[in-house]
Structure 1
Amino acid sequence: MVGTDEVRKIGEEHEAVLRSLLSPEESARYLRSMQTAKAMEQAYSFLLARALLRTTLSRYCSDVKPQEWNFIMNEHGKPEIDFDNLKARRIPEQFKSLRFNLSHCSGMVCCAVSIGRDVGVDSELISTKRRILSIAERFFSEAEFEELKKIHPDRQQLVFSRLWTLKEAYVKARGLGISGVGLDNFEFTEASGFIFSLQLSDNVCRFDREDSVVSSGDLWKFLIVNPPSVSQSTERNSPAHTVSLAVGGQEPFELVCLKTVPCHVTPDVLLDPRST
């Protein structure tokens, strides 16, 4: 993950380096987006996200330069690696199952990469200005909405953010889009002791959460990552962002979470090593 405010301090020289990692189409899209201050912020997040993705993939497969990765969209608009059109002559078989997902919000860019597993990541800035109950009533299940109303107002924003990013991460991992899954067609329920329950229309799972690691049994694993080293709110030392992961597959896996800056001399910071 990358803290975008931190990277902005690096300056125009590093921005040019990041642009050099993009495809011609991505670079042109970035330049076209630099119109207003708000558009520039979104464009910068796009630049960081694409540079982060390309450099991360090349860490796995060093025979492919960051700018050489090609992508295609599936029928629902989810990007995937186009292995048939890579310039590298030989890709190890183990890397042909590389999968990824991106998320960027105000102040943060995240990239999740896995081998042989569906993966989705979602991040958002925890905001006290949104009318979260109105949003939850429209997009959450009835049970989720009712539980959210019972939570003390001091915690509502955080719990809402966790539920929202968990849902988005799961939808993105499925690769079907919100219209294909529907945010209200499945639900997460938080109980005392940080126990969550996930219910799908065709499957009911119960899973415990311990120190932000949520295991859904034999189909999916859900992880809530709060990265205080990337950004920290000033109010009650609570996390400024919520980051959630949805990972498919039955086998245990190790999560390595890094704070990084693409193509910069600053060493990576290991934020969140864990196994699940």
Structure 2
Amino acid sequence: MIEIWIVERRDDEKINPALFSVLTKEQYDYISSKQLMQDRYNSLLGTVLSRYVLENRFSCFYPIKRNADRKPYVDHFPGEINISHSNNTVVCAVNATGKIGVDIEEISEIDFAIITEFFSFNEQYMFHILSSKRKKQLLLYQLWTLKESFVKATGTGLGPILLSNIEFDLTGQPRLKFQQNNWKFHSGLLNETYCLSVCYSASKEEMISIHKISLNELAMYFLKDQTSYIG
């Protein structure tokens, strides 16, 4: 089973700064290196959300670390975790026995011209035959998040890979074209506002289990009796 956990923070919802105190020094330094406060908050939530899932679902209490490519990993855990965030929504995906990558993007206005840079010829054809702007928009975000999730699952980063060289067949469950491997994919909409895709390694299709947890639940789990919040 592939587990996906989501925490959504309202614009007016405040984060308890004491949550930073539950981080390891390595986690704190990584989060503090981010320039924007929004990214710091989202990275913080991604880290504590991942820890919550590992502890409660897999009885794994080892700290989350990052390799040279900044991909998260956990010692003595046979699978992988991956984190993504967009705007105020943070996602953690877990594959208990293999590799995993997840990407979430808020659906917004975007210049369709980017398809020539990031889509293969066949994907561009799929895009151009669509009749409405909304359908084009959804296809663009679906393909983008699928490609990002694949790159994150492989752990190679975007450097050596051209996204236009990663081509998907979307007839039925999304799958990579021209590659024989054990990569599996799931893609869908979250509240009609976000597009979410996950890539994982497995010999067969796994059930996707999606859970939501509130910011308050996370704070209560880690801080229990602390209730002072700041923006």
**TM-score, normalised relative to structure 2:** 0.80
**Paired residues of 1:171 and 1:178 also in contact (CA < 8 A):** yes
**Paired residues of 1:117 and 1:247 also in contact (CA < 8 A):** yes
In the alignment, is residue 257 of structure 1 matched against residue 220 of structure 2? no
Q: How far apart in 1 are the matches of 2:123 and 2:58?
A: 41
Aligned partner of 2:160 in structure 1 is 180
After superposition, where does 1:67-216 map in structure 2 within 5 Å?
A: 69-73=63-67, 76-83=69-76, 96-128=77-109, 130-132=110-112, 134-151=113-130, 152-190=132-170, 196=174, 198-200=176-178, 202-203=179-180
SS at match of 2:159: helix
Between 1 and 2, higher relative CO (CA 8 Å, sep ≥ 6) is seen in 2
**Paired residues of 2:26 and 2:65 also in contact (CA < 8 A):** no
Aligned partner of 1:3 in structure 2 is 8
Change in 2 beyond 3 A, CA 1:25/1:167: same
Aligned partner of 1:47 in structure 2 is 44
Q: How far apart in 2 are the matches of 1:78 and 1:50?
A: 12
CA offset at residue 153 of structure 1? 1.6
**TM-score, normalised relative to structure 1:** 0.68
Q: How far apart in 1 are the matches of 2:92 and 2:208?
A: 13
SS at match of 1:177: coil
Q: How far apart in 1 are the matches of 2:133 and 2:194?
A: 18
In the alignment, is residue 242 of structure 1 matched against residue 195 of structure 2? yes
For 2:95, give the aligned amino acid.
S
Change in 2 beyond 3 A, CA 1:22/1:225: farther
Change in 2 beyond 3 A, CA 1:196/1:50: closer
Question: Where in structure 2 are there 5+ consecutive unaligned residues?
Answer: 1-5, 222-231
Q: How far apart in 1 are the matches of 2:86 and 2:138?
A: 16
For 1:2, give the aligned amino acid.
V
Aligned partner of 1:235 in structure 2 is none
Identity percentage over the alignment? 28
For 1:253, give the aligned amino acid.
E
For 2:167, give the aligned amino acid.
E
**Paired residues of 1:140 and 1:187 also in contact (CA < 8 A):** yes
Note the aligned Cα RMSD (angstroms). 2.6
CA offset at residue 178 of structure 1? 2.0
SS at match of 2:198: strand
Structure with larger Rg: 1
**Paired residues of 1:4 and 1:45 also in contact (CA < 8 A):** no
CA offset at residue 118 of structure 1? 1.2
Question: Where in structure 1 are there 5+ consecutive unaligned residues?
Answer: 84-95, 204-217, 229-238, 267-276
Aligned partner of 1:57 in structure 2 is 54
For 2:200, give the aligned amino acid.
V
Change in 2 beyond 3 A, CA 1:168/1:222: same
